[in-house]
Each structure stands twice: as structure tokens, then as C-alpha cells.
Structure 1
Amino acid sequence: MALPAARTRSTPNTHLVSLAAGDLLMVLLTVPFISIVYTVSSYPFGETVCRASEFVKDLSLGITVFTLTALSADRYMAIVRPVSHHVSDTAGRVTIIVAVGIWVFSAILALPAALFSHVPDKFTPTGEKYHICTPFPPFLGDLYPKIHTLVKFIVYYLLPLVLIATFYVLMARHLLVSAQHLPGEAAGQQRQVQARRKVAKMVLAFVTIFAICFLPINIFIMWWHFGENSSMNYNIYWHSFRIVGFCLSFINSCINPIALYFVSGTFRKYFNRHVFCWCTRRRRGRRRDWDPTDSTATRLSTAPRTEHVHLRMVGGADNGTHDAPHRLTLTSTTSLLSSRNYNNPGSVV
């Protein structure tokens, strides 16, 4: 059973599909190549894989951050200005344009990673050569890594969280004010407000998970590039902190569907129906609910039926010879009851 078009093509669902696509890119094209760095002593892939991996990492990060910001802005408009937000006929097209614009803008911001990432030769204190994948080329100088890190921290983390927090503060203020007038409103309006609150809580859960997952890695990167003698003070503590930060940033791409499952009742319902179908089918078999669309339901067949009846003349002479019988054709419509066998035949009515 497919979701109704009006429900699947809503603004939150469009952004959630875009968010899922960005997370899928991260899981498939970035996590396998970056995670292997912590298991081998030298980067085993070439420059092409290095550039592609760094590009997809920044692309996915931009899609996640900007989509969450767009979702927060949409929830703000849906709660504070519901009429102007939903009445417009161009709302669906605007949502598609915003989603595509997020992908294009994220790709533009990720271009430096695709252009400048390389695999330089490095040497240990004992003279052994190894390779790393880095987005900072030497010809751009020592200032470029600091500028690049600071810009990414502001654009990908600090500024979106400030905007999202502002949207939610304004939403909370509006809900507190409107709650005083809510009991006197119609029941339909109350259900709409409750539905919008549920979606707002879902977006807030995503934003909270993002803020927690990306905080450690941003702390490490800022310390590494702006801390005094960070390379000299790098020890097992910072190394472990760095690994935890990378793992949490990658977990963010995997935990969103899990959070959506527990937060959204609609997503949980259709996820159980289409993914855990064996479990729901088993539960459905225990119930005895009558469904007029089910194959076990009663069906009426109105197919025409033609019968040929042989007639003889009444009162005709019976001299051993039979006249040719007259043929009468009857066309009738009958109701046929068809059903599968039930444990209790008397239950079929």
C-alpha cells in the first residue's frame, strides 16, 4: 500500500529524502575510505580516491546542515504562519527548488576539497615514508588551513545552529502565546497544531543529534589548527578524542533513520509494513478483522449467465416421433459468494 500523494509530497518529506540521500553518499563513498586510515599506517589509495572522498564528505556535510536549517525554517513558517505557508500553489515547487539549491550550494562549497586534496609523501623520524590524504596543498601556504577550518566551522556548524536555535525560540514563544487561545478553537485546528508540534519535535531531534555528533570533531579541528604547539602536544588522549569525533560524525549519517523511527509514528507504521513485513503479516494473521478489499472478503459477481432450455409443445401428439425442440435462452445475473475456508464456517456472513 503506497502512501497518499498528499502526504508523501509534503515539504518535510521532500527534505527528509534529500537528507537521506546525503547520508547515503557519506556512508557509501566516504566512511569506507576514511575508516581504513585508522587501520593502516599509510594511506593506501591514490589521489583520485582521496579527492572524491573529501569532496563527498564536504558535500554530505553541507546537505545535512543546510537541509536541517531548511526544515527548521519550514517548521517555523508552518507553526507561526500556517495559512500563508500552505495556501500557496507553488509551495511544492519552491520546496523542490530549495532542495536542489541546497545540493548545488553544497557542491560549490565542496569544490576546494575536490581541487586541492592530494596524497603527499611524509616521513617518520626514522626515515620511513608514508602517505596521508589532506585537503591542504603546500602551495597555498600555512594560512590556508586555518582560514579553511574557520570558514567550515562557521558555515557548517556555528551559523546553522544559531539560525536553528532562533527558529525554535520563536516557535516556542508562538506556541506558548497561542496555547492560551487553544481550548476555545475547533477540534480540527487543535489536531493541526498537534501535528505541527510532532514534526517540529522530529526536526529538533535531528538537530540535537547533529549538534552532539559533530561537536567533538569540530573541537579537535579547531584545537589542532589554532592551539599553541598542538602538533607537539598531540598525545594518546587527543588521538582517542579524534577517533571518537570521526566516529560520531559518521554515526550521524546512520542514526537519523533510527531517530525518525522512534519520533515519527507515521514513519514507524510504514517502515513496519514494508520493511518488517514478515512481523506485521504474522500479527495480521492473528487478527480476524474483516477487510472489504481483502481476498478473503465476500465478492459479488454480476457476470451474465446464459442457459439453453429445451421445450416441447404442450398437448402435442406423441406418436413416437419428436418434433424439434424449441430453444429458449435465459440471461440472468446472479450473486455468487466466494470465500476462502475459515476455521469457523459460520463466521462467513
Structure 2
Amino acid sequence: MAETENPLATEAVVIPVVLGVIGVVGVVGNGLVILVIARSKDMRTVTNIYVVNMAVTDLAYLVFSVPPAAIVFAASEWPLGEALCKGMHYLGRVTLQASCLTLTAMSIDRFCAIVLPFRTISFRRTRVAIIISTCIWISSLLISIPVALRFKTFQVPITNQTLCREIWETLTAQKSYFVYIFCITYLVPVFISAVCGSLIVRQLIRSSKLPRSNLDRHERKMRRVTAMVLGVTVLFALLWLPTHAINLWRVMNPFVPGMIQIYRVKMVFTCLAFANSALNPFVYTFFGENFKVGLRRLFPWCCRRTMGASPQSSTRKSSLSHRKLSVQLSNKSVHCHRSGPVDKDRRQDFVVEIREDSHHTPSPMTDPHDQTNVLTDLCSCHQILNICKKDKPLSSIV
């Protein structure tokens, strides 16, 4: 009597190959994002600190989650033992949780920069962003502890397969945990990001109705950074929704018999979820002009034609003569001036000084990159457009 053919034989080959491609693209892409920001001092801004943290979480998630998933799809069982069963799933959940929290932090940061620029001047600093990123990792390590406790290996008596699954005493406990995971790794981050995004869009629409100034170029840079954060959020929401939906449906309907079609659909949804971490670097590069410049610096021999002009020509086009801008706004005095002597071959950034009283001695802010961020946010806010409208577009980092 002939043996029954495996109905998932094709998927056992195709899905691991697809996951392998996703993993390689994601690791290389996120690695380049980290390298570009690390090598460029002018890119170490508040938003880019969160971008680096996001790239680290995506890279770690692909490293810890793609290989186990590919092995399970290929072998239809878990051959790596219980220690790796606990460890790999725990680290995968830690990096996923850190990615969700970082996404939330990025959205809140953009909200503060555009909607509440003056109230959050002292808060939006690279030092604060690094502290928040560290807290994100610590909280993710603690929140994901139940994963390490619940994942175990066991053998299926009929097929003699070794599986790695979460073991629960009661069905109610399992349902509660899946709802909890859905809330903290999807619903809450997406909700907060959606609220921040809607308020940001409303603010940008309001500012676009104001009289136009010479800050068009600067505003485009600010809008591109905001579009980058919103793009990452939308991509996360779309690609992770199917996986959460099918997981919740399965746990809420435990007595529905498993079917080959459902398993195939889950394979596709799993690939979409992993693809989110691999596609984020493309979003950074598409919307972030500074990432394109950074890539040209790293690979001038291959990016010169595909990404436009060289960094030097871009810098010369945006170079300005030495200018100073000082104006009294409410009880604060805003002073904009260059950070150093004018040099046509080197990018020049403006420094902002915020003083409580114009009669007091100037007290520059501590971090020059934070100063440039403040300038970016202040000049993009409708409350200061009239201040900057007589000056040429200011070259600054978003």
C-alpha cells in the first residue's frame, strides 16, 4: 500500500525559502540603517535614536524568530530541544514587544515635535530618547517572562511529533493571555499611534493654510520625517493584523477542527508579519532624505546615479551666508545662528538658543543636535512662521 503523500510538501519548501529571503533582506537593511546613523554625527537626532532602536528590534526579531519558524514549517515539528524552545520564543517576544513600544515612542515624539513644540523643548533631547529606549528594552524583558515559563516541548502520541507550544492549565487562561498579547503588542500601540497621527495631520493641515513663507524646503523635510513615522505605523498595522486575527480566532474557537487550508493561510500571514521588519528600512530610505545622503557617503560608487546628486552638490545648494535671527516671542527669546564658520564643502547647521528673557545672558542648549531639532520644530510650527518668513530656508536636520 502506497504511503499517503504530505499535503504540505510544497509549502514545506516554499515557505522556508520565502522566510530566508525576508530574513536576509531584513538583516541587511536594518544593519545598514544602524550603520548609516552611527557613522553620521549629523543624523544623531531624537527621531533617529528611535529609528535606530526600531532597526535593532527588527533585526533581533528576524534573527530570533525567522530561523525557528522556517525549521518548523520545513520539518513540521520542533527538533531543537526545550531550552531553545523557551529561549528563542522568549527573545522573539521580547523584540516584538520592544518594537511595538518603540513605534509608540516614535509617534509620541512626532506629536510633541509638531503639535506641542514649545512645551516639549526640554523633553525632546537625544539623552532622553536614549533613556526611553533603554526603559523600553527593560520593560520588554519583564513583560515577556510568561513566554519563557509557558513554552514547553511535548510529543504528539499519534504522529510521534515533537512540538513546541504554550501549555496552559485551563482554556480560560489561554484565551485571557492571547487577548492580553493582542492588546499590548498591537491594539494599544496602534491606537496611540493613530491618535498621534491624526493630531499631527490636523496640525499640518492648519499650518498649510497659513500665509506661505520661504520655509517650503524646510517644511518638506519636516513633513517627510513625519510621513516616515506614519508610514512605519501603517505598515505595522496592516501586516500584523492578519496574524493577530487568525490567532485570536483559533484560540476563541478551540473545538473547530484544524484544516490544511487554515494552516496554509496562517503560513502566509506569518510571512507578512515577518516582512514588516524587513520593509521598514525601505520606508526610512524612501521618506528620509538624510538616509539617502548617508547611503551615498557609505557607497558613493553605487548610489551616485540611483540616488541623485552627490552630497557635496546637495550641500552647496543649501549653503547660506552667515545670518542671525533674533526675535521676542511671548516671554521667550529665540536666537538662530550658524554653528560654525561657513564652509562650502561641509554641511553647516543652525543653532537655536531659547532664553526666558531677552535681557539675560544667553545660555546655549547643551546638545548641538538637539538645538538643530528645536530649530526644525520651532520653524515648522505656525506660531513662528512669521518670525522666519524673511529669512532664506534654513538648512537643518529633521
TM-score (norm. length: structure 2):
0.64
Counterpart in the other structure of 1:130: 161
Q: Shift in Å at residue 123 of structure 1?
A: 2.3
Are 1:252 and 2:276 counterparts? yes
Aligned equivalent of 2:302:
279
Q: Which residue of structure 2 lines up, in the alignment, with residue 107 of structure 1?
A: 141
Match of 1:214 among 234, 237, 240: 240
Structure 1 residues 44, 80: CA separation in 2 closer, same or farther (over 3 Å shift)? same
CA deviations over 1:288-309 (Å, ceiling 9, x no partner)? x999999xxxxxxxxxxxxxxx
Deviation at 1:144, TM superposition (A): 2.0
Distance, in Å, in 1 between the alignment partners of 2:123 and 2:199 is 26
In the alignment, the residues of structure 2 paired with residue 213 and residue 4 of structure 1 have an alpha-carbon distance, to the nearest angstrom, of 31
1:84 is paired with a residue of what secondary structure?
coil
Post-superposition shift, 1:89?
Answer: 7.5
Deviation at 1:55, TM superposition (A): 0.9
> Unpaired segments of 5 or more residues in structure 2?
1-35, 317-342, 346-398
* Conservation of the 8 A alpha-carbon contact between 1:85 and 1:91: no
What residue number does 1:18 align with? 53
Alpha-carbon shift at residue 39 of structure 1 (Å): 0.7
Q: 1:73 maps to what in 2?
A: 108
Distance 1:76 1:282 in 2: 35
Alignment of 1:329-348 (within 5 A): none
User: How far apart are residue 278 of structure 1 and its match?
Assistant: 2.8
The answer for the alignment partner of 1:154 in structure 2 is: 183
Q: Which residue of 1 aligns with 2:353?
A: none
More RCO (CA 8 Å, sep 6+): 2
Is 2:88 the partner of 1:53? Answer: yes
What is aligned with 1:195? 221
Deviation for aligned residue 1:176: 1.9
Q: Aligned-pair distance for 1:272?
A: 3.3
Q: 1:28 aligns with which of 59, 63, 69?
A: 63
Question: Does residue 1:92 correspond to 2:126, yes or no?
Answer: yes
What residue is the counterpart of 1:144 in the other structure? 173
Which amino acid letter does the alignment assign opposite residue 212 of structure 1?
Answer: L
In structure 2, the residue matched to 1:308 is none
Residue pair 2:104, 2:189 contacting (<8 A) in 1 also? yes
Letter in 2 for 1:279: C
Compared CA separation, residues 39 and 70, structure 1 to 2 (3 A): same
C-alpha distance in 1 between matches for 2:247 and 2:57:
22
Equivalent residue number for residue 226 of structure 1: 252
The verdict on how the C-alpha distance between 1:240 and 1:3 changes in structure 2, with shifts beyond 3 A counting, is same
Residue by residue, what CA displacement relative to the aligned partner does 1:141-189 show, whole Å, maximum 9, x if unpaired? 2222111100011111111111111111111222222222242xx534x
Give unpaired runs (5+ residues) of structure 1.
295-349
Aligned amino acid, residue 224 of structure 1: R
| In 2, Cα distance between equivalents of 1:41 and 1:193 | 52
Q: Which whole-Å CA distance do the structure 2 matches of 1:35 and 1:148 have between them? A: 25
Could you say if the C-alpha distance between residues 243 and 203 of structure 1 is closer, same or farther in structure 2, counting changes exceeding 3 Å?
A: same
1:307-318 matched pairs, under 5 angstroms: none
Amino acid at match of 1:176: I
Give aligned-pair identity as a percent: 28
- What is the letter of the counterpart of residue 50 of structure 1? C
Query: Is the partner of 1:44 in helix, strand or coil?
Result: coil
Structure 2 distance, partners of 1:242, 1:72, is 29
Letter in 1 for 2:128: V
Alignment RMSD, CA only? 2.8
- The structure that has the greater radius of gyration is 1
Query: Shift of the alpha carbon at 1:269?
Result: 2.3
TM-score by length of 1: 0.73
Q: Distance in 2 between matches of 1:75 and 1:205?
A: 13
Distance 1:3 1:83 in 2: 30
Q: State the distance in 2 between where 1:30 and 1:90 align.
A: 33
